[in-house]
Structure 1
Amino acid sequence: MSTPASPPTAAILVIGNEILSGRTQDANSGWLAARLAEIGIPVREIRVIPDNEAVIVEAVNALRAQARYVFTTGGIGPTHDDITSASIAAAFGVRLLRHPEAERRLRAHYQAVGSAINAARLRMAEIPEGATLIDNPVSVAPGFRLDNVHVLAGVPSIMRAMWDSLRPGLIGGPPVRSLSVTAFVREGDMAAGLGALQNAHPGVDIGSYPFMTDGRIGASIVVRGTDETLVALVGDKVADLLRALGADPEITPGA
């Protein structure tokens, strides 16, 4: 596998016109990013792109050069607009071939459920040359891995089952730790202090996320990093900052 130097990073490519049109909400990228963080593979970029071969090829080639792991979701079903497999083959400059094991699984599955195998269903056995299959225990039609690109289904339950299949083969780093400090303080009042804390502690990421509850404005300050002790230290400093502004902050680990 051609990969950049450690630490490991990931990129997620969400493919589908239905996401861009607003018809379907993306339920995959956030879930996948959280699972990757748990095993020490932070996601550095998420893109949402249409079912367009040229766009998919450009995005896949850009992301696979930047991240150790790339995950795509969507576009590997049996219909005319499911073009992800062919687009991945084009990105790598390889042929799209009928995979014997994928075909065997599909034929056995549809025979078992009493449905006819047809040309549309056999499209799901067309895999880029050189790729290895990712098991699909839900609906059988496999995903696949080619170099550092992992191609998964768009249906969330199937994508998550595929994740369980591929997870043991991923090599991560220290898991990402996080905590949130929540208080009814306006962002403008704490911005300077938060900026100073971020500059003083580049080993963590500090993010501010405002909210409104019962007409009151507040914010959740999230501290993330791989050093659990440093995350806790900075979380305490954020809480001290908010107390100095007259708030009563609540610290929630893992949030």
Structure 2
Amino acid sequence: MTEPKKVTACLIIIGNEILSGRTQDANLAYLAKWLNEQCGIQLTETRVIPDIEDTIVNTVNECRARFDYVFTTGGIGPTHDDITAESIAKAFGVQWELHPEAHEILKEYYGPEGLTSARARMACTPRGAKLVDNPISKAPGFQMENVFVLAGIPLIMQAMLESLKHRLTGGAPVRSRSVLLHLAESLIAANLRDMQARNPTADIGSYPFYRQGKGGTSIVIRSTDDDLNSRLAQEVYKMAFELGGDPQFEESV
């Protein structure tokens, strides 16, 4: 059987406030789960970068060449430090200019007198951009080829995602099975290494924990093949049982 094509994505989180620790990012986990479950797209890399034009330009250009899709969050608001749209225009070598459709959307939302120069700035995109609808605060995101530029505010970012779902083409979603063991990682490391070598299409992760005074390890098996996940989970269970690890299956995802 042919292995399903792996469709990859990268998230670029843009903002000095994220790097300073003042704001905690809430978009990464949501985007990774949404892309996998809704579209069969795997988020395989994330970068957090400052509001510096050259950094944005270089990062976007590198990532759009490496991944099927690139998503950016942050930096498309009305203030002086919101430079994402301008920077992406430079990454694509096009003008940053007023987008007529975006301008009409904001004019209708704010009214002619309420559309200040700062707010009108949110209607500027790289030339040739395709708008991404924003049903909450109306200021749209945009798409340039395989790059999708979204808001940093989580509620707005999530709404934008739903509006562009039909533009994304993915593969099979990744599923997982987990087994909880009351064993130290060092006792099962060799077994897991052998299991991973025999099953290269699965991702077998080992995560230690300490709960209610007892330590152990959670083994998470991830792949696009539910049957493979189940078989490997059974193998882990049997191994742990023979080692006295009191294994327990956890809920499948």
Report the TM-score, using the length of structure 1 for normalisation.
Answer: 0.94
Alpha carbons 1:73, 1:151 under 8 Å: kept: yes
1:124 to 122, 125, 128: 122
Alpha carbons 1:178, 1:253 under 8 Å: kept: no
Alpha carbons 2:6, 2:42 under 8 Å: kept: no
Alignment correspondent of 2:12? 13
Whole-Å Cα distance in 2 between the matches of residues 172 and 242 of structure 1? Answer: 36
Give 1:57 deviation, angstroms: 0.8
Secondary structure of 2:128's match?
Answer: coil
Mapping 1:87-126, distance limit 5 Å: 87-111=87-111, 116-126=114-124
Alpha carbons 1:15, 1:50 under 8 Å: kept: yes
Alignment correspondent of 2:48? 48
Alignment correspondent of 2:155? 157
Alignment correspondent of 1:197? 195
Q: Structure 1 stretch 50-59 or stretch 241-250: which is displaced more?
A: 241-250
Gaps of 5+ in 1: 1-5
Whole-Å Cα distance in 2 between the matches of residues 41 and 159 of structure 1? Answer: 17
Alignment correspondent of 1:236? 234
Alpha carbons 1:86, 1:96 under 8 Å: kept: yes
Counterpart residue identity of residue 11, structure 2: I
Gaps of 5+ in 2: none
Give 1:175 deviation, angstroms: 1.1
Counterpart residue identity of residue 250, structure 2: T
Counterpart residue identity of residue 12, structure 1: L
Give 1:25 deviation, angstroms: 1.0
Alpha carbons 1:78, 1:123 under 8 Å: kept: yes
Secondary structure of 1:251's match?
Answer: strand
Cα displacement string for residues 134-160 of structure 1 (whole angstroms, at most 9, x for unaligned residues): 000010000000000000000000000
2:174 to 171, 176, 179: 176
Alpha carbons 1:13, 1:46 under 8 Å: kept: yes
Give 1:86 deviation, angstroms: 0.6
Counterpart residue identity of residue 154, structure 1: G
Whole-Å Cα distance in 2 between the matches of residues 167 and 190 of structure 1? Answer: 41
Alignment correspondent of 1:25? 24
Cα displacement string for residues 47-90 of structure 1 (whole angstroms, at most 9, x for unaligned residues): 11111111111110111001111011111001111111011101
Alpha carbons 2:141, 2:149 under 8 Å: kept: yes
Cα displacement string for residues 196-216 of structure 1 (whole angstroms, at most 9, x for unaligned residues): 111111010011111111221
Give the 4+ runs in structure 1 shifted more than 6 A.
none
Alignment correspondent of 1:248? 246
Give 1:217 deviation, angstroms: 1.2
Counterpart residue identity of residue 151, structure 2: A
Alignment correspondent of 1:221? 219
Counterpart residue identity of residue 165, structure 1: S
Cα displacement string for residues 158-194 of structure 1 (whole angstroms, at most 9, x for unaligned residues): 0000000011211110111111111222111111111
- Number of corresponding residues: 248
Give 1:244 deviation, angstroms: 2.0
Percent identity of equivalent pairs: 52
Whole-Å Cα distance in 2 between the matches of residues 133 and 74 of structure 1? Answer: 16
Secondary structure of 2:11's match?
Answer: strand
